[in-house]
Amino acid sequence: MMRWILATLVVGFLTSGKGADLESSLTVTVPEIVYAVEGVPTSLHCRSFVDVLPTAPLEIEVDSPVGQLEGEVWHLSASEREIGDHRITVRIARDAAGPATAASLTVRVVPANAGERRELSLLIVGDSLTHASRYPNAIAELLDEPGNPKWRFMGTHHPKSATPNVFHEGYGGWTWSRFNTRYEPKEDQTGKTRTSPFVFLSEKGQPELNVSRYFSAFHQGDVPDFVFVLLGVNDCFHANPEDPAAIEAKIDAMMKQAETFLASLREAAPNAIIGIGLTPAPNDREGAFVANYGKSYTRDGWRRIQYRLVQRQLEAFSGRERENIFVVPTAHSVDPHLGYPQDNAVHPNDAGYEAIGKNVYAWIKAMLAER
């Protein structure tokens, strides 16, 4: 059974320029679990649960024993007495008189000292959002707080923007496929962006994905305790948003590549705990898309693709705890307005990256609390 929640009262699907905004009711898509840490603020941007334009009116209610709704954002800064699981229900309607669609999720609050005095190694894999290093930096800063394990980031890439001891495998424009296949024989495999650090020549002289060899070549055979992957933008951005079949085909191809990488990773590090980040919602300013892409790509178009991508990510990666694969709900943590600069469509500002970092940190702490 699927471990994600998709509540819908849809009476008709339209693929015109306004997409789901022309429906009389809404589809609400939420992750099964949102992670939070005692004393660390967390937020859910409820508009990201529905595929509507940023200017579309919404009526939002949240029934929750913890936290509070302010406008369209649910906030929680959990105290010690709120440690544990809390079931919350989100109801969203187009207006006060219209039908509301409801979906429920669990907020899991864990202690601030989860994993204290243990040791932790983390490998982060991603695209330009990771290359920017701001959310990995935020994770490291949180792990430096009292009550945390001794940490080590693994990776071959250390951009100038990364703080000391923050390494990762994050490269601008990269996809699951590039990590599986990209090989440039004239370039040294030490984190250069033209060659995947996970691809090597086989005994037959052909490039092949080999995550085990990556750990041997760059980490003396050590494997990580945690792996976090945040990909999807470049895999699906260029799909035609007016063609649902084209969107599905792009996502199908991405999922095939994702499973290929995860299989090699699981073979190399069978006990690693793997987190798959949900691709974040974009900047809600159409002007940011104009600034970056002119008339080639629109906010509405990418948001429609991204929303469907998140649904597919939940389908593909939820319910796989026995494989040590978990969903990290990063799609719903970044404020689509305050979390982005005015002139960048898909790359957050410091506040947006910090929100992603808090999401990943909370997931790590939750996994430590269970073990």
Collapsing DSSP to helix, strand or coil, 163 comes out as coil
pLDDT tens, residue by residue, 180-238: 999 987 765 554 567 999 999 999 999 999 999 999 999 999 999 999 999 999 999 99
Binned at pLDDT 50, 70 and 90, residue 20 comes out as very low
Domain identity same for 138 and 12: no
**Structure confidence at residue 98 (pLDDT):** 80
Task: Please give the model's pTM, rounded to 2 decimal places.
Answer: 0.92
> What are the backbone dihedrals phi and psi of residue 185, each rounded to the nearest 5 degrees, phi first?
-65, -20
- Domain total for the chain? 2
Domain identity same for 178 and 308: yes
Residue whose structure tokens are 């949180």? 142
Domain identity same for 92 and 10: yes
pLDDT tens, residue by residue, 85-105: 999 999 999 987 888 999 999
Domain identity same for 104 and 149: no
Domain identity same for 150 and 281: yes
Domain range enclosing 67: 5-110
Domain identity same for 160 and 124: yes
Q: Last residue of a domain, which of 85, 110, 135?
A: 110
**Structure confidence at residue 2 (pLDDT):** 34
Burial category of 129 from C-beta neighbours within 10 Å (exposed 0-12, middle 13-18, buried 19 and up):
buried
Domain identity same for 165 and 42: no
CB atoms within 10 A of CB 184: 14
Q: Using CA atoms, how far apart are residues 223 and 59, in angstroms rounded to an integer?
A: 47
pLDDT over threshold 50, residue 3: no
Q: Last residue of a domain, which of 110, 131, 150?
A: 110
pLDDT tens, residue by residue, 278-308: 999 999 999 999 999 999 999 999 999 999 9
Domain identity same for 228 and 308: yes
Collapsing DSSP to helix, strand or coil, 294 comes out as coil
pLDDT over threshold 90, residue 265: yes
pLDDT over threshold 50, residue 16: no
pLDDT over threshold 60, residue 9: no
| Percent of the chain residues topping a pLDDT of 70 | 91
Domain identity same for 64 and 166: no
